[in-house]
Amino acid sequence: DGGITQSPKYLFRKEGQNVTLSCEQNLNHDAMYWYRQDPGQGLRLIYYSQIVNDFQKGDIAEGYSVSREKKESFPLTVTSAQKNPTAFYLCASSLGTVTSGANVLTFGAGSRLTVL
Amino acid sequence: AQSVTQPDIHITVSEGASLELRCNYSYGATPYLFWYVQSPGQGLQLLLKYFSGDTLVQGIKGFEAEFKRSQSSFNLRKPSVHWSDAAEYFCAVGADNNNDMRFGAGTRLTVKP
């Protein structure tokens, strides 16, 4: 079955450490997204990528980095510069074109990061 | 940019009762509107979407939503709630001039037996 796989599901990190969250999709979707979810705040866009080797910052990109070397993969690195990294991170993908807002998003199951 | 407001943070309904979750959006043109549902610790699943045409849209699990341009609303309804509907519900809006999908803060639904 096609879908999005996020790993790990739970991750603990010490302050000052970088961590990388994996996101892989086999839906042949062009676009991929990373959202951060905090209680009572909905989803906020961190980064998105419409094509391989290209990505754009979202609303809260500071302290995060991404890469898109393959269509199927869009890993997110949470760096030590991110002041409050404890959150639930969701990866999504869509078939949408660059200028179309009619993008139905397919989500992964999420990764919960806790900074100790 | 577009924005979404979900006025109700938490709603409790009895099993078998009807449900309406409110969603208001802000956008100058015709928006693309979505409702997603999230079970605890899981990703989001699409319930239904509105792009154009009939303003009453049907979704999965017996949900429906009505787009009202005059009220800038896209409220989600279900005639009879089941215990398995307990979850968090997110309204989202997309636009033609950007790649950003804006989500509301979510409404948590509790179903009483």
* Interface A:B, Cβ pairs < 8 A: 75
% of chain B beyond a pLDDT of 90 = 76
Express each pLDDT in B53-86 by its tens digit: 889 999 999 999 999 999 999 999 999 999 999 9
Burial class of B29 by CB neighbour count within 10 A (0 to 12, 13 to 18, 19+):
exposed
Asked if the Cβ–Cβ distance from A104 to B9 is below 8 Å, we say no
Residues 64-93 of B with CB under 8 A from A: 90
**Concatenated DSSP letters for B23-64?**
-EEE-SSPPEEEEEEE-TTS-EEEEEEE-SS-SEEE-GGG-E
**Rounded-to-integer distance, Cα A84 and Cα A65, Å:** 15
Confidence of residue A41 (pLDDT cuts 50, 70, 90): confident
Q: Does A23 touch chain B (CB under 8 A)?
A: no
Residue of B3, B101, B103, B108 to mutate, testing the A interface (most A Cβ within 10 Å of its Cβ): B101
% of chain B beyond a pLDDT of 70 = 96
β-pair type (B56-58, A106-107): unpaired
Confidence of residue B19 (pLDDT cuts 50, 70, 90): very high
Q: What is the pLDDT of residue B40?
A: 87
A98 has pLDDT over 50: no
Express each pLDDT in A77-88 by its tens digit: 999 888 899 999
Confidence of residue A16 (pLDDT cuts 50, 70, 90): confident
Q: Which residues of B touch A114 (CB under 8 A)?
A: none
For residue B96, give the nearest of A40, A41, A99 by CB distance.
A99
**Rounded-to-integer distance, Cα A92 and Cα A5, Å:** 10
Q: Does B59 touch chain A (CB under 8 A)?
A: no
% of chain A beyond a pLDDT of 90 = 71
For residue B103, the distance in angstroms to the closest alpha carbon of chain A comes to 6
Average pLDDT, chain B: 92
Q: What is the pLDDT of residue A97?
A: 57
